[in-house]
Structure 1
């Protein structure tokens, strides 16, 4: 199995849509959503991540999600592994290799220890069991594990199968600067794109995150490549109020899914418990943000 570094650019992080009545995986909406990502020209997709509510899906549902994505688009795919323990993480990555096959660009594995040697051993064990290239995700808000950028770099330097790092431990710009200076793998920002401009300035390869207007992430990254900071700033300014609105703690997932629903990309915006839904008091403000972006898109 290939372990090439991930291509730079925007890797769209895919939500998992559910049916309104039963909260089953909505396969038609999922196919429509990933088709939209393909049309706007993303570098690849990230499936079964935090934004995809992977931790709340059964193994059968995870398989179904992967099958729909593979059947719908021919893009490279990164598949998330939710577990921080070696054996269940291996099972998740084995599922990804089985279903995704040659489209698998990497399996995203969580940092599970602040010790660089132990982390390297964990990553090597996952690769040895599955053959997959590894995207190392540093997301302490989800895992509860904090590692310094220097120690993360030291771990990744030991792992030949690492194909990327996803840096989501604030403050991300200085972390990305350290990681890009000390490793030879591409580093991507996340966290809804809030720090995208500063992450690009620090050397990131692009964005790997959920946002209801991935076109905005594309515009920012492409403008950076063409004209640097000023061009990227001008391209991203129109989207920043919505980026900030979607980044609200605890309800960001629900807001993004509702925005996707209002865009017509999924049929229902339901999230699985214990995640809270979007408060009705935000309805009018979300409409304002979407209308502002859409008016500038047209």
Structure 2
């Protein structure tokens, strides 16, 4: 079961589709293997970048069962939903299938601190003893959650064991939360998102690792391994080698198309298909991605690191 001690890299998994938009289960198996080979200590599926909102209910649970049956590491399932009935149903089915926990983002209609706190109190009540991750992603949800509100949720909801931190900018939030836990508040795991764009700084501020996706998912593990070994300069050098692609993939509205293209180019998934509606890459974008990837490969070789392919 997921708990407050979770750390490392929980890779946010893409959802592979065939060219006609059907689920690609063969690619799903290959992708799970690749993520683990590249350093994932956990997997998170059916997140926002996993196109969860484009799946039917039976497709969602089919993906959950397939991934869990294949994975050798804990699996967290995104169960965010406007209503608690759908959330609870998917959460219970996921846990029955062997999930380690679930992830919940607040709906976009929450505006006040009291509304946010009440929502997660209700979430904890409906989920019962299922451990959950609070996803704090205001760029996508438009819900601003302050450190004091997070601390109140953590105090009121013992089953909230992790914060998926992807506020932007949000480094001061990590510092505030860690100072509070040092002063006696319940400490929970903090894993960070945003494609790893601020990963080094987040680790320096007290994060326990990453819960995010990227077209080259080994980046997070390589950076964290160097950081954990105390070699900050090497961690920076590795991060710098990947940074141009991290930056390029961070384009709002286009990032998932870029990620799926690079995963397909490496053979991790068979097709870069996004389910409609979804962005398409132009010839110019593909040329830019290929140029960045080639330069990234050369920089990794200079560091004595082999690219996966």
Do Structure 1 and Structure 2 share a fold, with TM-score over 0.5? yes
Higher RCO, 1 or 2 (CA under 8 Å, sep at least 6)?
A: 2
Aligned to 2:119: 122
In 2, the alpha carbon distance for the partners of 1:250 and 1:45 equals 23
Please say if residues 134 and 162 of structure 1, whose CA atoms lie closer than 8 Å, have aligned partners that are also in contact: yes
Write out aligned runs for 1:94-173 (5 A): 94-99=92-97, 101=98, 104-112=99-107, 113=110, 115-116=112-113, 118-130=115-127, 131-173=129-171
**Equivalent residue for 2:223, pick from 220, 225, 236:** 220
Q: Using the TM superposition, name which of 138-147 and 214-223 deviates more.
A: 138-147
Please say if residues 8 and 41 of structure 2, whose CA atoms lie closer than 8 Å, have aligned partners that are also in contact: yes
Q: What TM-score comes out, normalization by structure 1 length?
A: 0.92
Aligned to 2:260: 257
In 1, the alpha carbon distance for the partners of 2:268 and 2:84 equals 35
In 1, the alpha carbon distance for the partners of 2:44 and 2:34 equals 14
Please say if residues 190 and 207 of structure 1, whose CA atoms lie closer than 8 Å, have aligned partners that are also in contact: yes
Please say if residues 123 and 134 of structure 1, whose CA atoms lie closer than 8 Å, have aligned partners that are also in contact: no
Q: For structure 1, which runs of at least 5 residues remain unmatched after alignment?
A: none
**Equivalent residue for 2:283, pick from 273, 280, 286:** 280
Does the C-alpha gap of structure 1 residues 95 and 6 become closer, same or farther in structure 2, counting only changes over 3 Å? farther
In 2, the alpha carbon distance for the partners of 1:178 and 1:229 equals 23
In 2, the alpha carbon distance for the partners of 1:47 and 1:253 equals 14
Aligned to 2:249: 246
CA distances 1:247-291 after superposition (whole Å, capped 9, x unpaired): 111100100000100011001111122221222211111111222
Please say if residues 121 and 153 of structure 2, whose CA atoms lie closer than 8 Å, have aligned partners that are also in contact: no
Tell me by how many angstroms 1:220 deviates. 0.7
Does the C-alpha gap of structure 1 residues 126 and 96 become closer, same or farther in structure 2, counting only changes over 3 Å? farther
Tell me by how many angstroms 1:74 deviates. 2.2
Tell me by how many angstroms 1:68 deviates. 1.3
Does the C-alpha gap of structure 1 residues 179 and 105 become closer, same or farther in structure 2, counting only changes over 3 Å? farther
Is 2:204 aligned against 1:201? yes
Tell me by how many angstroms 1:228 deviates. 5.0
In 2, the alpha carbon distance for the partners of 1:75 and 1:173 equals 28
Please say if residues 200 and 236 of structure 2, whose CA atoms lie closer than 8 Å, have aligned partners that are also in contact: yes
CA distances 1:85-140 after superposition (whole Å, capped 9, x unpaired): 433322231232232x2xx2221011344555544443343344332101000112
Q: Aligned-pair RMSD on alpha carbons?
A: 1.8
Please say if residues 111 and 137 of structure 1, whose CA atoms lie closer than 8 Å, have aligned partners that are also in contact: yes
CA distances 1:175-229 after superposition (whole Å, capped 9, x unpaired): 2112222240011110111111111111111111010111111111111111253
Please say if residues 166 and 194 of structure 2, whose CA atoms lie closer than 8 Å, have aligned partners that are also in contact: yes
Please say if residues 116 and 155 of structure 1, whose CA atoms lie closer than 8 Å, have aligned partners that are also in contact: no
Please say if residues 116 and 154 of structure 1, whose CA atoms lie closer than 8 Å, have aligned partners that are also in contact: no
Q: For structure 2, which runs of at least 5 residues remain unmatched after alignment?
A: 182-186
Runs of 4+ in 1 over 4 A off after TM superposition: 114-118
Does the C-alpha gap of structure 1 residues 228 and 200 become closer, same or farther in structure 2, counting only changes over 3 Å? farther
Which SS does the other structure have where 2:259 is aligned? helix
